[in-house]
Amino acid sequence: MRLGMMQPYFFPYLGYFSLIHATDCWIVFDTPQYIRRGWVNRNRVLSTGTVGWKYARVPIANCDSATPINEIRIATRSEWQRDLFNSLDAYRIRKAPHYQKTISFLQNTLTFPTQNLSDLLVHCLSCCCEHLDLPFHQQTFSNMHLNLPSISHAGDWALKTSQSVSAAEYINPPGGRSIFNVEEFEQAKILLKFLQPALPAYEQGREQFLPGLSIIDAIMWNSTERVREMIADYELVAA
């Protein structure tokens, strides 16, 4: 079994979905501390301004700096969804070919009745995968109640979790190489691989392609078939 494990992000970029595509089992790692100004409750979308992008976000309620992701609450502002859809107006202005279809998809997705941020994020990920016909065999870490041995360093979470669920391989983004001890995986007979997504450029209604935006951007400009092709365009590299 190939395992992937990541924190839940708000409509993440294409590479996140490439990781899901590459795995047989996905664990939503919802117990780490929430990091402010990260990707958990916001992501980048196109704008009509000079910078070219802005944030679409879910506002969160005040919380302690040590609060884990699975305990973060959504702010009780009834207008946050209106603000979010307003942040996507650049796609209407730039005449994105799948604008109306994407807006309808987002409206249906965000009607999910919860004040828990993590629950909303998992729901959004599931809906995205369903929209793209991408299998998503997920479990939420906090609900698995794994009895893990002592964790000695950041990369140990992946190793100990892989051992606990009897994974033969663990797949990670290339940016996380430094936190892993390859010898520990070799000793545990778990194959550690890193996924390098191709992330091809596509038409965005502007002169220069702006990479690294939310999956929302990809589905605004491309058919679901083309988005699936881009998601499946990656290389798995052994550690």
Output the six-digit token pair for 1.
């079994």
Q: Report whether pLDDT(176) > 90.
A: no
Point out which residues pair with 60 in neighbouring strands: 74
Pick the closest to residue 35 from 66, 80, 59 (CA basis).
66
Residue-wise pLDDT tens digits, 56-69: 999 999 888 889 99
Pick the closest to residue 159 from 133, 126, 132, 192 (CA basis).
192
DSSP secondary structure code for residue 8 in this structure: -
Average pLDDT over residues 24-32: 97
Residue-wise pLDDT tens digits, 202-216: 999 999 999 999 999
Pick the closest to residue 198 from 233, 236, 238 (CA basis).
233
Contact 225, 133 (CB under 8 A): no
Contact 190, 169 (CB under 8 A): yes
DSSP secondary structure code for residue 145 in this structure: -
Pick from 2-11, 30-39, 126-135, 219-228: least confident: 30-39
Contact 4, 19 (CB under 8 A): yes
Percentage, residues of the chain above pLDDT 90: 89
pLDDT of residue 231: 98
Output the six-digit token pair for 137.
């065999």
Q: Report whether pLDDT(36) > 90.
A: no
pLDDT of residue 175: 84
Residue-wise pLDDT tens digits, 151-165: 989 899 999 999 999
Band (pLDDT 50/70/90 cuts) for residue 89 is very high
| pTM, 2 dp | 0.95
Buried b (16+ CB within 10 A) or exposed e, 44-73: bbbbeeeebbbebbbebeeeeeeeebbbbe
pLDDT of residue 210: 97
Average pLDDT over residues 39-46: 97
Output the six-digit token pair for 56.
């679409």
Contact 12, 226 (CB under 8 A): no
Q: Report whether pLDDT(128) > 90.
A: yes
Band (pLDDT 50/70/90 cuts) for residue 96 is very high
Output the six-digit token pair for 166.
């009897």
Pick the closest to residue 5 from 141, 145, 166, 144 (CA basis).
141
Point out which residues pair with 56 in neighbouring strands: 43
